Amino acid sequence: MLIRATAAIAVLFVVAIIGLMGMVLVDEDAHAEQISDGGGGLRGVPAEFRPWILKAAAACKEPELTPALLAAQLNQESGFSTDRSTVSHAGAQGPAQFMPGTWATWGRDDDGNGEASPWDVGDAVMAQGRMMCSLLKQAKTSGYSGDVRGLALAGYNAGWGAVQRYEGVPPKSFAGGETYHYVQVILASMPRFQGPGLVQISGTGNGADAARKAATRLGTPYSWGGGGPLGPSTGFCDGRNGYLNGRCSASSTVGFDCSSLVQYAYWPDLRLPRTAAAQYGATSDRPVSRKNLKVGDLLFWSHGGSGAIYHVALYAGDGNVIHAPRTGKNVEIAPLTSAMPERDYYGATRP
């Protein structure tokens, strides 16, 4: 049975995690600002880039390194291309266009797939963020005139030595104007990538409110068994789930799994049970056809029948969902048609 809380409820309490092995401690960070862009002030970027851009910007303590700056730079470098044929005339590779020597300095296995690759979106964007963060620090201490963002961008494109040579952004006479125009184009195009968010979540009622609340957690890591009504927490491994590259990732990752994100999104106004299967069971008497979906509806995927439901997501409107996909990924917005295998789509309900 679903229990709808009255408006008088003002205090959340820690609840037992039903249907999971053991008790999960909940992080009492329940007061995230509920805005439709997930708090990132970022729009117009592919879904697979969004969480990494937000993470890379958050990892840098230099306030000039905003998500919009990173997005505009990625757009200029490769147009967000993940095609392995994306190699510059000079040999720069991947979405962030790293030369092999530069990649050796900044590249890491940030997405945890066992390989540090300039072609992997997560690895490339995080390396881009680290390099830009370092360049911004150099720009601030250099004493050179001009926008520190421009100085950092010039250093990224031409090397910091070129910035030192001209004590600023190299002029149009340098390298045929490539670096000069690179800086100008990126700074001018930043507004294109500044908020509102990737998906505008409109409407009123529990469903729209839940979707907006879930969107505040975009970029949060997936953690099997982690998360709950009050926010993200570490999870656990059960012998099959929660592992990444042979080790238990969930036990050291603060995040959500698919059903805890949904539970968190609706809590406390609607107290959904903890697991995807239980959430389907609690709402299956209110099925919704795919053509009649509304923001906040629950979508389920199964390996065969209601007893084999393995994933749940929130409908975000415009053919997109908000969900926590799997270990190694982050809470994201993705097309309904590709969020999970299409053949496994089981149906939708309205809480």
pLDDT tens digits along 146-158: 899 999 999 999 9
Residue 47, pLDDT above cutoff 90: no
Residue 278 lies in a domain: yes
The CATH number for 67's domain is 1.10.530.10
Residues 6+ apart with CB under 8 A from 168: 144, 145, 146, 151, 154
Residue 29 neighbours by CB distance under 10 Å: 11
Residue 254 lies in a domain: yes
Cis peptide bond N-terminal to 196, omega within 30: yes
Q: Which range is most confident: 31-35, 37-41, 67-71, 161-165?
A: 161-165
SS (H, E, C) 310-347: EEEEEEEECCEEEECCCCCCECEEEEHHHHCCHHHEEE
- Note whether 182 and 66 are same-domain residues: yes
Whole-angstrom distance, CA of residue 108 vs CA of residue 99 = 14
pLDDT of residue 195: 65
Instruction: Give, as one character, the DSSP assignment of residue 248.
Output: E
- Note whether 187 and 276 are same-domain residues: no
From residue 65, give the alpha-carbon distance in Å to each of 129, 264, 266, 303.
8, 30, 33, 43
Please compute the mean of the pLDDT values over residues 255-270 and round it to a whole number: 95
- Considering only residues 3 and 349, tell me which one the structure prediction assigns the higher pLDDT: 349
Among 193, 222, 237, the domain boundary falls at 193
For the record, the structure tokens of 188 come out as 């001018």
- Note whether 131 and 213 are same-domain residues: no
Boundaries of domain holding 280: 206-349
What is the CA 323 to chain-centroid distance, rounded?
10
- Note whether 133 and 257 are same-domain residues: no
- Note whether 163 and 210 are same-domain residues: no
- Note whether 170 and 262 are same-domain residues: no
Please compute the mean of the pLDDT values over residues 260-285 and round it to a whole number: 96
Q: Sorting pLDDT into bands at 50, 70 and 90, what band is 44?
A: confident
- Considering only residues 133 and 18, tell me which one the structure prediction assigns the higher pLDDT: 133
pLDDT tens digits along 215-224: 878 878 999 9
Least confident of 9-23, 100-114, 273-287: 9-23
Residue type, 116: A
Whole-angstrom distance, CA of residue 29 vs CA of residue 40 = 17
Residue 168 neighbours by CB distance under 10 Å: 17
pLDDT of residue 219: 78
Mean pLDDT across the chain, nearest whole number?
86
Whole-angstrom distance, CA of residue 283 vs CA of residue 324 = 20
pLDDT of residue 348: 98
Please compute the mean of the pLDDT values over residues 56-79 and round it to a whole number: 92
- Considering only residues 128 and 11, tell me which one the structure prediction assigns the higher pLDDT: 128
Where are the alpha helices (H) located in 170-275, listed in sequence order?
Answer: 178-193, 206-215, 258-266
Among 193, 218, 245, the domain boundary falls at 193
Looking at the structure of the chain, the number of domains it has is 2
Q: Which residues pair with 348 in a beta bridge?
A: 288, 299
Give 76-85 contacts, CB < 8 A, sequence gap 24+: 76/182, 76/185, 76/186, 76/189, 80/45, 80/46, 80/49, 82/48, 82/119, 82/121, 84/119
